[in-house]
Chains A and B, each alone.
Chain A
Amino acid sequence: MSAVQTREHPALRRDRLAALGPLGKPVNLILVGAAVFLLIGCLSSQIFAQQTVVGLAQGAVYGSLALALVLIYRATEVVNFAQGEMAMFTTYVAYQLTTSWHVTYWLAFALTLLIAFVFGMGVQLVFIRPVQHTSVIAVVIVTVGLFILIDGVVGWVWGADIKFMPAPFGNTVYHVGGVAIARQDIGTILVTIASVGLLWLLFQRTKLGLGMRAAALRPASARLVGVRVDRMLALGWGLAAVLGAVAGLMAEASEYSLQPSFMQPILLYAFAAAVLGGLESPVGALVGGVMIGIFLNLLGQYVSFVTSEIRLPFAFLVLIVVLLIKPTGLFGKKKVRKV
């Protein structure tokens, strides 16, 4: 086991050399191209600009949830199918706090994140840890079981009807040079940037974050320097649940309504985003989320065939095309894994 994990692959080295020339990589060319395209589009058409901003806000939500998926995937090589439903559950917690117990929105927001953290850790401890060392398929099935379980519990406790929560940013719409921008969208983007930024600081600038990264990258070596890997995995699930909670709360706010199935399409877009960016790459997850958000909005605006029913299949068609061209996603590194 340890021998497999500590062996270094020569391809890593090649990738790193390629990274020295930033514009030499096709990924960066694609990104620069996309940015130029969006810039020209936004400058030449107000509708285009409007759809881009809306797409950016939606993409921020997809990106946050995708990042949650990537955090768990990097640490355990498991895709958490229950990530969206966990986010949905925490959003209902916020609903309970704000509407039934009359806690102000932002206090409820903070409390919800705290509860989400504990909840995520608890899920890992109780449900995931016992099967962690069996097989990937077993863990996946457990997350699928959790999906159904959480759905059932939320339906049982809160009912399946549509609920309404206070709007965190109000309903103001700004007009900037003829482009209508909802305050809600700006708020979503800012909240996402803040939470991702804080997470980045945690991972890059603290000893705990370093331990978490070490545990995810090379668990066997991490144990030998005294990192409590199991604890780090639980923390990782906690943080992923927090990110999911942010995504859930922001998604609820932009949809203005809450029902048990509301995170399911978002989970699917997040999957698409994570795969597009490369399942191993946190940056990729965010960029992938934003790209999918904007792309779908523009597509809906300009291609009449792509109606709302077919938005999801279309996103996945693109995803599969990307997978076929570059199976490791935009930011993924090729990794040889013993099956």
Chain B
Amino acid sequence: MTTRPSLAAVVSCLVAAAILAVLPFLISGYHQGLLTQVAVFFIAILGLDVLTGYSGQISIGHGAFMAVGGYTTAVMSYYHHTNLIVTMLMAFGICLAFGFVVGLPALRLSGVYLALATFALAVSMPQIPLKFSRFLGGSNGLQAQTVSHLWLYGVAWAAAAILFVGAWLILRGRTGRAFRAIRDSEVAATSSGVELPIYKTLAFGISAAYAGVAGSLFVLATNGYASPNEFTVALSLQILIGAAVAGLGSLWGVLVGAVFVGLLPEVSSSVPVVGSTHGQDVVFGLFVIVVILLLPTGFAGLLARLRVRLTRQSMASINSDPGTS
């Protein structure tokens, strides 16, 4: 990754922003809702990508962080009528702290064990509102303020844009270098002066904070309801799938991943025969498998391969390099 954005990257960012800014005025509220969903997944997958793609720590539990963020918004809105934007900032802060705390035991775990521990977190989290149902509303959930589709669309994509730029700023500098050094080799990173505990927990904190904002928006997108049924393991798996489709370590792939998990279930539900919930699952499951079979390194891997091929072609025209594969 370069430290300065290429012209092409800036232009495509601006074009994307312009399209997203105009789009809501051309489509129905329902479709605005769908695109909001995409924004929510975009933010969550972005967070997971910071953790897994850049610092090399696996998490199958990002739904848990989303739940914390979502319940932060619901609780503050329900009990204190706090401004929703403020609750999002609170979700960011609380999840940042929570991510740090989760990151501490994660320092001792890696690979499969970290994957299973975070999975455990994802499974356990929805049980907490059931246990403390007096305060958190049990299985009925908590109702936050409701907002219009357009408001939510604007806020969600604005948040996505801010967080995208934020991620880019963090990852291009010293912190990003430290993350990548840890991902590539912890031993080598330590010996070149990267403080592992600080950067590994920092990655967890940032990642969780992103997921927290996503969770907060997610609650607002489901008519303002925070309920355990919304934050099941399936949500964590969706984020993971999105990240895998995106391909790890590529900010651009994230958009593709978000569109995949955000829109595919809806698109498949409009197909006649498969239009049932189960049909959607079948289609979604099949698509996930097929995409990974075709692109094991995700969309990012595809991009990288295309880039290699392009550079090789231009190289080949300069000197007759044998072009090894």
Contact = CB atoms under 8 A, between A and B. Distances in A.
A and B touch in the complex (CB under 8 A): yes
B131 interface: yes
B120 interface: yes
Interface residues of B, number: 47
Given A144-B288, A327-B113, A152 B244 contact: no
Interface stretch (A12-20, A23-31, A47-55, A153-161): A153-161
Contacts of A152: 278-285
A148 B237 CA distance: 9
For B110, B116, B125, B185, the residue with the greatest tally of chain A CB atoms inside 10 Å of its CB is B116
Contacts of A137: 58, 244, 248
A130 B244 CA distance: 16
Interface in B108-123: 108-113, 115-117, 119-121, 123
Closest 10 CB pairs of A and B: A152-B281, A149-B285, A145-B288, A313-B124, A155-B278, A316-B120, A134-B296, A152-B282, A148-B285, A156-B278
Interface of A is mostly: helix
A225 B248 CA distance: 38
Contact of B131 (A77, A144, A150, A307): A307
Nearest to B130: A309
Nearest to A325: B108
B289 A146 contact: yes
B131 A309 contact: yes
Interface string A286-297: 000000000000
A156 B282 contact: yes
Nearest to B128: A313
B325 interface: no
For A136, A138, A312, A337, the residue with the greatest tally of chain B CB atoms inside 10 Å of its CB is A138
Interface in A311-329: 312-313, 316-317, 319-320, 323-324, 327
Nearest to B286: A149
Contact of B297 (A73, A135, A160, A320): A135
B120 A320 contact: yes
24 contacts: A77-B112, A79-B115, A130-B293, A131-B293, A138-B297, A141-B244, A144-B288, A145-B287, A146-B285, A147-B237, A148-B288, A149-B286, A149-B288, A151-B285, A152-B279, A155-B278, A156-B276, A275-B113, A313-B127, A316-B123, A319-B117, A320-B120, A323-B113, A339-B110
